[in-house]
Amino acid sequence: MADRFAFEILARSGRARRGRLHLAHGDVETPAFMPVGTRGAIKALTIDAVEALGADIILANTYHLHVRPGDARIAALGGLHAFIGWSRPILTDSGGYQVFSLAARRRVSDAGVVFQSHLDGRPLELSPESAVDIQARIGADIAMMFDECVGWPATHDQAEAAMTRTLRWARRGRDRFLALQAGDEPSIVRSTPGQVQFGIVQGGTFPDLRDRSVDGTLAVGFDAYAIGGLSVGEPSDLMYEMVERVAGQLPDDRPRYVMGTGTPDDLVACVARGVDLFDCVLPTRNARNGQLFTREGPISIKNARYADDLTPPDPACGCATCRRHSRAYLRHLFMSGEMSAAALNTAHNLHFYLDTMRSIRKAIEFGTFESFANAFLETYSRHRSIS
């Protein structure tokens, strides 16, 4: 598989790694943050704008694209890259998380999940196998295995049941993926032949379950591994503990991806624990709600104190929003309900995330990640360090 998937580690600083991931549609410099483009679009931004921000890779949601416009349609139109006009790498989740959080009614069994579309109540189903087929049609560079995620808090029994089912699904999902690769399922369009598949470690916040999940997932064998089931409401210290425990058991030569995380300090803390890939709706969703990330912590642009404030959102920021616009104008746009408020805020927040990752990568290259991280957290949240 080295011809279409490889991960190089270019530098290390403590447990933090500076890497480069080679994917079918190009390289991803890691540690990397993936902006979330649920329906094949980063909310409030055009694809041109996302490209201008310098994102190497974006995430799209299998559940949403399956419901609309449909994966068969996407395949017929040449795959997701062609459909949305984005030529760089894409990762798709498996659809599992959205089924559990969005679907109107659902029935989970070992076979898979039967649910009703959140749009029109139409009955749909996802299984370890169909999640592979759908993602093959969509044609992301990275497909995720179908898993079951429990919320927080969950009992040991609940977390164990979901984890063991996830392991059974891992085997089936991997088998299906390999069958498609081997050409055994010619009826399934594969929009990106070089697609790779990541496994997902579950187990909630229980160390013993996490350990068993790591062993079982590694035994199945994927191109790389993600840590799922975190950032679901648990305290961040508990999340970091799980990340540290699991990351330490995952292969050093493969990228590690913590799904759905997190705040800027979460990213720094997880990189310090050996994580390479992230995605999160925070920068985009919070932008639409008027929260802007800055080096000194987040601000709410709705606040009346900004009505006459001619400084940019973050005076230290070089993004297009900060170079051109003041807090006063952004507040006016937000209060007036102008769509451009969402566009400008989203561009700023994503720039902040992507720029933080650039700084992280530089710091690892220079072997100064720990001092960078402590300085970042000191300025950003003023109350904690990475350790």
Question: Site residues (CB under 8 A) for its own copies?
Answer: 39-48, 68-69, 73, 76-78, 83-85, 307-308, 310, 320, 324-326, 328-329, 332-333, 335-336, 338-340, 342-344, 347
CB of 262 to its own copies, least distance (A): 24
Structure tokens at 300: 């709410």
The answer to whether residues 225 and 250 touch, using CB atoms and an 8 Å cutoff, is: yes
Identify the DSSP state of 43.
Answer: T
Number of other CB atoms surrounding residue 307 within 10 Å: 11
Active site residue 266: no
Catalytic residue among 56, 276, 279, 355: 279
Instruction: Report the nearest approach of its own copies to the CB of residue 275 (Å).
Output: 30
Q: Is 186 helix (H, G, I), strand (E, B) or coil?
A: coil
- How far is Cα 49 from Cα 45, in angstroms, rounded to an integer? 6
Q: Among residues 317 and 364, whose Cβ is nearest to its own copies?
A: 317
- Minimum distance from residue 239 beta carbon to its own copies (Å): 31
370 and 272 Cβ atoms separated by less than 8 Å? yes
| Antiparallel, parallel or unpaired: β 299-300 and 291-292 | antiparallel
Residue 3 among the catalytic residues: no
Catalytic residue among 56, 71, 93, 265: 93
CB of 194 to its own copies, least distance (A): 23
Reduced to 3 states, what is the DSSP secondary structure of residue 9? strand
- Amino acid identity of residue 354, one-letter, is L
Sheet strands side by side (includes 196-201): 32-34, 277-279, 256-258, 224-227, 196-201, 142-144, 90-92, 58-60
C-beta of 48 vs 208, nearer to its own copies: 48
Please name every residue paired with 107 in a beta bridge, in sequence order, or none if there are none: 114
Residues 78/191, Cβ–Cβ less than 8 Å? yes
Residues with catalytic function: 93, 279
